[in-house]
């Protein structure tokens, strides 16, 4: 991930209403600084939601165990093709 664009808190206050458009044109986050140090992050709502979702998944021990197991199985060649997965799903639906 690239470093966020930085703007001083005084400029952020003056540009607050235009920041959503800036983030649409140049996606990412904006670090708001005070005396040169980052104190706030401004980011699009969908990015915020995806970060929160990721944190929720990462904090769920069962989901993470399942993910690690899936990665292990895939690296060991135990995965099967998308076509086979569709066939199995279709078979389960028709049963």
- Calpha distance 42→30 (Å, rounded): 5
Let me know if residue 51 belongs to a domain. Answer: no
Say if 53 falls within a structural domain: no
Q: Domain for residue 50, yes or no?
A: no
Give domain status of residue 25, yes or no. yes
Instruction: Tell me if 20 is assigned to some domain.
Output: yes
How far is it, in rounded angstroms, from Cα 32 to Cα 41? 6
The alpha carbons of the chain give a radius of gyration, in whole angstroms, of 22
Asked if the model's pLDDT at residue 1 lies above 60, the reply is no
Taking the CB of residue 43, how many other CB atoms lie within 10 A of it?
17
Tally of structural domains, the chain: 2
Query: What percent of the chain has pLDDT above 90?
Result: 57
Kindly report the pTM of this predicted structure.
0.62
For residue 95, pLDDT beyond 70: no
Structural domain boundaries, residue 80:
60-94
């Amino acid at each position: 991930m690239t470093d966020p664009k930085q703007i001083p808190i005084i400029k952020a206050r003056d540009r607050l209403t235009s920041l959503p458009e800036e983030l649409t044109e140049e996606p990412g986050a904006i670090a708001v600084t005070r005396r040169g140090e980052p104190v706030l992050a401004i980011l699009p709502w969908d990015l915020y939601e995806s970060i929160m979702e990721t944190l929720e998944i990462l904090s769920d021990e069962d989901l993470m165990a399942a993910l690690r197991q899936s990665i292990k199985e895939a690296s060991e060649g135990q995965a099967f093709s998308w076509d086979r997965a569709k066939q199995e799903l279709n078979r389960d639906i028709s049963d």
